[in-house]
Chain A
Amino acid sequence: MQNNRTSFQIKSLIFSVESTNIIRDISVDIEEGKITSIIGPNGSGKSTLLQLLTKNYKRTSGDILIKGNSIDKIKGKEFAREVAIVNQDNTPPLDTTVRKLVSYGRIPYKKISLTTMDEEDEKVVDWALEITGLTELAGKDVSSLSGGQRQRAWIAMSLAQKTGILFLDEPTTYLDIKYQMDILNIVKELNEIHNITIVMVLHDINQAIKYSHNIIAMKDGKIHSVGNAKSMITPDLVEDIYQVKVDTFEIDGIKYIVSF
């Protein structure tokens, strides 16, 4: 079942805390070079799944493979050169410039002196700053930035890791609509121009439809359905997952949902 287009393979994944199953037997493949969004109600296990995939939580049973190798076999910094994650609610360190924060993304390539930067590192940092539109703000303190700028700084740090896959946990939550668009457009550019595989948890179903290729819909720690983002979301599916009735409307042939 493994093929070259698979980035992550998740097999019978179970995660429990104090004998309560949070993730209950999930098996799914994540397609390489695509944007995959995970949607589902609060407490459905979306963020937990992301934390399991990035080795932040230790699974109870099952297996997670990257290109056929179990993630257990890929250690620390080597894993951080393959997989990057932008978490939710990041605490900005005090008295740290944007450039310094982004340069931390090079740590996976360092051994003892973690913050000594060579020419190659500087180039990567410049590149990450440019993509996220932070070149002008590089000398500013991270804690002085707005929410949207700060989120871009965290994304830039992950980009400096130069990974093939990037996870984002609710990257648009707490941001106003302009910054939400900013972030999602950066994500799209990363995927289309830089060929980075994206997996993100999103709250907004319409954003998931618009910005992703595939959607994984979760409910009660299980996968409810997986499919093509442009066609899988129906009023029945939304009602089944969220227990709300919704209508649809169409833009450019794609159905979005609306609820009142």
Chain B
Amino acid sequence: MKYNKKRRIIGFFVTIVALVFLILFAIRTGSLDIGIIDLLKALFIEADEKVGIVVDLRLPRIIISVVGGFAIGVSGTLFQSVMKNPLADPGLLGVSSGASLTFILMIWLFPGLFFIAPLMAFIGGLAACFLVYSLAWKGGLDAMRIILVGIAVNAVFLALIETAQKVSAGGRVIENVVTGNLSFKNWNHVTTLVIYATVFIIIAFLLSSRCDIIAMDDRTIASLGMNVNVLKIQISVVAVFLAAISTVILGTVSFLGLLAPWIGRLVVGSEHKYLIPYSMLAGGFILLLADTVGRTVAYPAEISVGVIMAVVGGPFFIALLKRTGGKYAK
């Protein structure tokens, strides 16, 4: 077997260590330089003003990057398993922009209902997913057609988001949702994201054997007595929720859902009980890296994480399309 135990263990170990170091690096890098020991001292022994700023401003965005990256990495893996195609990504499929459009409309038109906004974003993401699936339906769900329809639907949603933004005279919140800006995140955002993401990532882990099974032909799955559509919907719902919750907190981040499982397959192989946790780690690492680069590379200006991911992810998507186009095109 190509992906033996040793290779997997090394893969997980290296990635976890790299993630921990990146988190530590991100904590101490920025307009205020603090040492890790100072931070730990301030957190557990005595309060320090400088450290307090870091804890209030920098720490939330670091946690959000990592956990949001976890959610998007897992979401992308689930979408790719359902689509049986490594080019599926919640951003490209219009799921994230559908969630974000719903979220924007909610907070613009019904600002009082902010607390149920994540739920509405989830419903918006589901609706977008359903719209794409049904537009792509032609006697069955062909993955290539889903992706093409998804790109078109995504473009429409992005235009509507921009319109909503202009009409509503550009509130700060809306701008953050659109471009994936991680400034101005506080501990409330952290709590919301961490609770929802944890629950749904655990559900995703429990679905890992179903994700393996779905890699077989639909008729073979059906011949084992399973309802293929129910299976696809189960996995899609979890994937949509993870994409929606991360979009609400982080904004639209494209290509991360593509990149994380792609790296995962290289390192730990296609078995989902390894691929899902690994893609989770890879997603968190990449997103935190993108955010850290974004806030340091052009300091004092900030480049949003959504922009960084698009700049890196776009060319990567094209390369992946060229490599796998022949294999996956029908």
Contact = CB atoms under 8 A, between A and B. Distances in A.
Interface stretch (B92-100, B212-220, B253-261, B295-303): B212-220
Contacts of A107: 213, 224-226
Contacts of A94: 215, 269-270
Nearest to A89: B217
Interface residues of B, number: 21
B330 to A, nearest CB: 13
Given A76-B225, A87-B219, A114 B210 contact: yes
B1 A93 contact: no
B36 interface: no
Interface string A61-84: 000000000000000111111001
Contacts of B225: 76-81, 107-108
A56 interface: yes
A95 interface: yes
Contacts of B213: 104, 107, 114-115
A95 B209 contact: no
Nearest to A112: B206
A54 B1 CA distance: 34
B227 A90 contact: no
Nearest to A76: B225
Nearest to A74: B225
Interface string A142-168: 000000000000000010010000000
B2 interface: yes
A141 interface: yes
B87 to A, nearest CB: 16
B269 A95 contact: yes
A84 B225 CA distance: 10
B228 to A, nearest CB: 11
B21 interface: no
A140 B1 CA distance: 7
A245 B95 CA distance: 60
Interface of A: 51, 54-56, 76-81, 84-85, 87, 90-91, 93-97, 104-105, 107-108, 113-115, 139-141, 158, 161
Given A79-B225, A107-B224, 11 more contacts: A51-B219, A77-B225, A87-B219, A87-B223, A95-B1, A96-B212, A96-B271, A97-B1, A115-B213, A141-B1, A158-B223
